Structure 1
């Protein structure tokens, strides 16, 4: 009986090690790192990548590949306590700069003082045209546990989801800018956004609480890897799940719920920002 117990224990240990090795590939295989990035396993055997922010630097994960359309998701556990001035992000970008050749799709988590909601800022840039933010007060404590954040990007629309709940869909119109031609990298970052993040920059980071930590795990993608200029992208076997995905009735219900109960900023209602008229998609949506 004792030998059998030892054998069973050995099998269990090997299975756990195999699971751990498998879990590590999302970080090792998919991303490069910058700054202070630490990797460890949680109690459930998930590989957790912890990004550190201090006075000297933030940190980031940057995909090794570029993609032209896909479904991208990650679980994040954000800064505990006073997170004012910090910004944790999960986003796609075609590269640095805000020029006419720049595209970007953002999910940015704007830190706040203890007890106040963390704000999720969603935004879309196309050919350097941005300023399309919808902001939502998260309806849970994003530092208490991991939650999944998802971007679905195809030729028809961009869908933003929190724990599989659709909070926004940005629709493509043929006569308006839309990110549909520039391959983009996936980034997960943690940085000092004191100039902007909390109450329009009025509340800065309290550096006496540094270093700060935000954690990511469970990265998943179903996407088309860009093969370079003039070459067709290589799409994985899961593309049928998202390639033609658009906002349906269930999505419209949750979008309306998020707008009614959680939205704290809508660019299509900011007349001060657009004194000459709102962007073209505002009237159509």
Structure 2
């Protein structure tokens, strides 16, 4: 079973369509200055490079729409060589206030030859610290791979190359993102203070520029405007989705073979007891 799941995990989902047929400039606002964000949009495909140099402060783009539930994916090719101290992300957030909601996929760079760490996290009403971190089973800087977040009222699903690696369930008595619309963000920034070996390895600027490539962004979500949300045709495919037995097997495989940190096993961090969802099925 583990061998067949590994082969499944190594499959690359090739996407080429532009989300909803919209131009990049219609969907996103840019974060950064001048050449920090390079966009190629020929009406058929969209390729975006985020570029970070010393003093640039990083770069990114965020969706003009806000969503209340949806399915969001993008292909990414991460920084090659020594990427220590860098953080690359795809995430959704309702803002930066104390009571915000957020769903994160973050890639913490590392020294040459060492594996990338993919950090997944969920914040609900300002309650976070729910990280699962994975060593990727491939070199994410050698080619594009697809990363996806599925967010619905029942659970949040994290996928890599169309393979589920984590699910975060909604329990009636525990915080879960259900009411705050969120924007989609993609960023590249200097996370030297925490990203690599808990901040012990900083960015080596002699390796600049640091470049991350994004393409094939796809959003199928309920767009929120004022006090209502409009869901697209076909949203039932993800709105009620939960993992079946086969997908739960891939999650179990990822936990056995790739999981490097699980907040539900960090007794030092939670000396008064683990969060309520830990240990539940």
Distance 2:158 2:264 in 1: 17
More helix by share: 1
Structure 1 residue 280 corresponds to structure 2 residue 237: no
Residue 206 (structure 1) aligned to one of 191, 200, 204? 204
Q: TM-score, normalised by structure 2?
A: 0.89
Q: Is the 8 A contact 1:23 1:46 kept in 2?
A: no
CA contact (8 A) 1:223 1:238 kept: no
* CA offsets 1:130-174 (integer angstroms, 9 cap, x no match): 000000000000000100000000000000000000000000001
Q: Which residue is 2:88 aligned to?
A: 88
> Is the 8 Å Cα contact of residues 19 and 216 (structure 2) preserved in structure 1?
no
Q: After superposition, what is the alpha-carbon deviation per residue over 1:24-70, rounded to whole angstroms, capped at 9, x for unaligned?
A: 8352221110111002379xx74210001112220011100100000
Q: Check whether the contact 2:19–2:218 (CA below 8 A) recurs between aligned residues.
A: no
Q: 2: CA distance between counterparts of 1:212 and 1:241?
A: 37
Pick aligned residue for 1:25 from 22, 25, 40: 22
**How far apart are the structure 1 equivalents of 2:18 and 2:266?**
49
| 2-structure distance, mates of 1:220, 1:24 | 10
Runs of 4+ more than 6 Å apart: 19-24
Distance 1:80 1:22, change over 3 A: same
TM-score w.r.t. the length of structure 1 is: 0.88
- The unaligned stretches of length 5 or more in structure 2 are 1-15
Give the drift of 1:251.
Answer: 1.3
The structure number with the bigger radius of gyration is 1
Aligned-pair distance for 1:247? 1.4
Alignment check: 8 A CA contact 1:66 1:185 kept:
yes
Which residue of structure 1 lines up, in the alignment, with residue 78 of structure 2? 78
- Structure 1 residue 227, shift from structure 2 partner: 1.3
Size of the alignment, in residue pairs? Answer: 261
Residues 26, 219 of structure 1: 8 Å contact kept: no
CA distance in 2, matches of 1:251, 1:81: 33
State the Cα distance separating 1:238 from its structure 2 match: 2.7
Q: In 2 relative to 1, CA 238–262 (structure 1 residues): closer, same or farther, beyond 3 Å?
A: same
Is 1:271 aligned to residue 267 of structure 2?
yes
CA contact (8 A) 1:37 1:50 kept: yes
CA RMSD of aligned residues (A): 1.9
